[in-house]
Structure 1
């Protein structure tokens, strides 16, 4: 994770990964046939860690949006994972990048999760029902990802949790027609 986060996929060498892991390059390739397979395994581990922290039941409705604020707060304690995600997600837009499908699927899944939470909030009467939920979901994800980059560049100048909370609160005011 640290090597991919620091150097990106293209500049990370299997030798450096092997050295940092205390094995030979052949040892790394014994477990992961290719560098691309190693990358996708690292990304899967990142997701598994996040899912484990969420627990068996995700929050529903507006509680899920509050969970996103907690996620932003928790991310300030996981700089390496945040850096890994930011570097590789940006890098994945390049032609032929091995994580392109992963990030395309991840963003689609995140938009679906947030859209579902907003739909649940509407069904529970927590928000108006005349909203473009997919648009709101994309905006929330964009804010969170943009804040991660700003925080990585100036951690003392950007409070990801506070700003995420402010944006979600403003969005909820729009979604409910009243201040949260």
Structure 2
């Protein structure tokens, strides 16, 4: 093994080539699924993008579902979950920061939007992923809204659980509108406006 800039040993040889090939397949699948969805995107289309046969591709990912989950996991490493990275960061700042970042990776956001919509159909392999993701987001935002309520920071009548679900719904909806008209839609601004309506200033 060689040593990279971080001082750790970098893989080389067959393992490194295999890792690079897997990454190139995932990136190609991202393009195919974002453009055509899971149903419409084909393994052959992915294989063609990386210049290999479908049989060779199946050596790295035994099924189309396995490849989809790899793409979704890769997506998580790029965008995260919208939560605060610093315990001192407020909910509003964390949401606005994440929305601004998402604007820099439109292809990844397109992939998420297409696959999320598809996942409500029967037997879609991404359904569990999106179900668990929404449950995790609702739980995280509920905790943060509940903490604000305990501190007297939520406006009267605001229910933390509904506020959490509404934030996610607004985010997904405004994101879809932004994909269609990025020059007209201010994602971060819309999210900030919503949070300003339910959270009292300090």
TM exceeds 0.5?
Answer: yes
Equivalent position to 2:47, from 7, 18, 21: 18
- Equivalent residue for 1:105? 132
Query: Runs of 4+ in structure 1 displaced over 6 angstroms?
Result: none
Shift in alpha-carbon separation, 1:101–1:81, aligned structure 2, 3 A:
same
Say whether the 8 Å CA contact 2:149–2:160 is kept in structure 1. no
TM value normalised by structure 2: 0.77
TM value normalised by structure 1: 0.85
Question: Cα distance, 1:151 vs. partner?
Answer: 0.8
- Equivalent residue for 1:85? 112
Matches for 1:16-165 after TM superposition, within 5 Å: 16-51=45-80, 58-60=85-87, 63-127=90-154, 131-165=158-192
Deviations 1:123-152 (A, max 9, x none): 444336974211000000111100111011
- Equivalent residue for 1:5? 34
Say whether the 8 Å CA contact 1:5–1:80 is kept in structure 2. yes
Greater percentage in helix: 1
Say whether the 8 Å CA contact 1:61–1:121 is kept in structure 2. no
Return the structure number with greater relative CO, CA threshold 8 A, min gap 6.
1
Question: Cα distance, 1:122 vs. partner?
Answer: 3.1
* SS of the residue 1:158 aligns to: coil
Q: How many pairs align?
A: 173
Which is greater in Rg?
2
* SS of the residue 1:157 aligns to: coil
Structure 1 vs Structure 2 CA RMSD? 2.4
Distance 2:152 2:117 in 1: 37
> Mind listing any 5+ residue stretches in structure 1 that lack a counterpart?
none
Distance 1:45 1:15 in 2: 21
Question: Cα distance, 1:18 vs. partner?
Answer: 1.3
> Mind listing any 5+ residue stretches in structure 2 that lack a counterpart?
1-29
Distance 1:59 1:128 in 2: 25
